Structure 1
Amino acid sequence: MEYSMLMGAMLAAAIYVLTPGPAFLAMLGLGAAQGRSASAGFLFGHLVGDLMWAGLALVAIIGSRVMDPVVFHALAMVCGVYLFWLGFRALTARRKPEGELDIAIRHPWRRGLIFGVTNPKGYPVAVAMFTALLAKNAAMLDWSSMAGLLCASLVGFVLADLILIWLVGLGFLRRFYVRYQIWIVRATGLIFIGFAIQAIVNSLPGLWTWRKS
């Protein structure tokens, strides 16, 4: 398997975890209230959901590639448009009050597990992110690469979780996030738009070739 494929899967998994979203906000609030150990329990419970959505996303991506290359390119185009939409929404976000965790959670890992496997946005975001990062290696995707990509994704998830566990214990970073949350969200929007453009550009040659055939 190409090194770039593994790096793409690992990077997609890490970005999936590190970009601000509902789980990120829940983890930040939990860490502020109960410390790093509670955040660690939440994130490693959430890891089950991360792996589930990543596995389903890879099945969809590889399945579309094996059936017909044009299906993969069409999926890449749709995912690129979806990522662009998410990025645009984040880029134009307005400040609003966010709820905080005001009661102690006795089993953070259980809260993270439930949060991870029931997140309805987990699958489409995972498909979009993995498609954007793996599109340039589309010709090499097949079922034999599934295990390696999932293992690389696990490494990306764990590394990102460890970074968040470290960050959440730094009080000034929590305060920085709360103060500049709107700008961080908008910067995330720019990142999503960048990946969206990459996915769309990578899918265009395949769709153009199919149209001419």
Structure 2
Amino acid sequence: MELSMLIGAMVAAAIYVLTPGPAFLAMLGLGAAQGRAASAGFLFGHLAGDVMWAGLALVAIIGSRVMDPVVFHALAMVCGVYLFWLGFLALTARRKTEGGVDMIIRRPWRRGLVFGITNPKGYPVAVAMFTALLAKNADMLDWGSMGGLLAASLVGFILADLILIWLVGLGFLRRFYLRHQIWIVRATGLIFIGFAVQAITSSLPGLWHWRKT
């Protein structure tokens, strides 16, 4: 398996975790209220959901590639448009307060587990992110690569979780995030739009070739 495929899966997983969203805000609020250990418990409980959604996303991506390459290119195009839409929403987001924790959570890992496996946005975002990062290696995607990609994704998830655990323990960074949250979200929107362009441009040659045939 090409190293670039493994790196792509690892980066997609890390970005999936590090992107500000409901789980990120819940983890930040929990860390502010109960400290770094509680945030760590939440994130490692949430890891089960991350792995589940990544696995389902990879099944969909590889399945579409194995059935017919044009299905994968069409999926990449749809995912690119979806990521662009998410990026647009983030760029136009307005200030609001949410995600704070105003009570003691005695089992943070269980809260993270439930949060991770019940997140309705987990699957479409995972499919979109992994498709964008793996599109350039579409020709090498098959069921034999599933195990390696999932293992690389797990590494990406854990590295991102460790980064968040370190960050949430830094008081000034928590304050910085809460103070500049809207601009961080908008910067995330730009990142999403960049990946959207990558996915769309990677899918266009395959769709154009299919159209001509």
> Which category of TM-score, normalised to the shorter sequence, fits these structures?
over 0.9
Match of 2:70 in 1: 70
**How far apart, in 2, do the equivalents of 1:11 and 1:165 lie?**
18
Match of 1:167 in 2: 167
Match of 1:60 in 2: 60
5+ residue gaps in structure 1? none
Q: What are the residue-to-residue correspondences of 1:1-213 with 2, within 5 Å?
A: 1-213=1-213
- TM-score, structure 2 length as denominator? 0.99
* Same amino acid, percent of matched pairs: 87
Residue 211 of structure 1, CA deviation:
0.2
**How far apart, in 2, do the equivalents of 1:94 and 1:170 lie?**
26
Residue 115 of structure 1, CA deviation:
0.1
Residue 96 of structure 1, CA deviation:
1.5
**How far apart, in 2, do the equivalents of 1:99 and 1:55 lie?**
27
**How far apart, in 1, do the equivalents of 2:33 and 2:5 lie?**
39
**How far apart, in 1, do the equivalents of 2:212 and 2:140 lie?**
23
5+ residue gaps in structure 2? none
Closer, same or farther in 2 for the Cα pair 1:166/1:100, shift >3 Å?
same
**How far apart, in 2, do the equivalents of 1:7 and 1:109 lie?**
28
Once superposed, what is the RMSD of the aligned Cα atoms?
0.5
**How many pairs were matched up?**
213
**How far apart, in 2, do the equivalents of 1:115 and 1:96 lie?**
21
**How far apart, in 1, do the equivalents of 2:50 and 2:140 lie?**
24
Task: Work out whether residues 25 and 99 of structure 2, in 8 Å CA contact, stay in contact via their aligned partners in 1.
Answer: no
Amino acid at match of 1:44: F
Amino acid at match of 1:205: P
Residue 100 of structure 1, CA deviation:
1.4
- TM-score, structure 1 length as denominator? 0.99
**How far apart, in 2, do the equivalents of 1:97 and 1:149 lie?**
36
Amino acid at match of 2:22: P
**How far apart, in 2, do the equivalents of 1:115 and 1:169 lie?**
21
Any idea what SS the aligned residue of 2:148 has?
helix
**How far apart, in 2, do the equivalents of 1:82 and 1:150 lie?**
23
Residue 99 of structure 1, CA deviation:
4.5
Residue 80 of structure 1, CA deviation:
0.2
**How far apart, in 2, do the equivalents of 1:30 and 1:171 lie?**
13
**How far apart, in 1, do the equivalents of 2:98 and 2:203 lie?**
37
**How far apart, in 1, do the equivalents of 2:179 and 2:38 lie?**
23
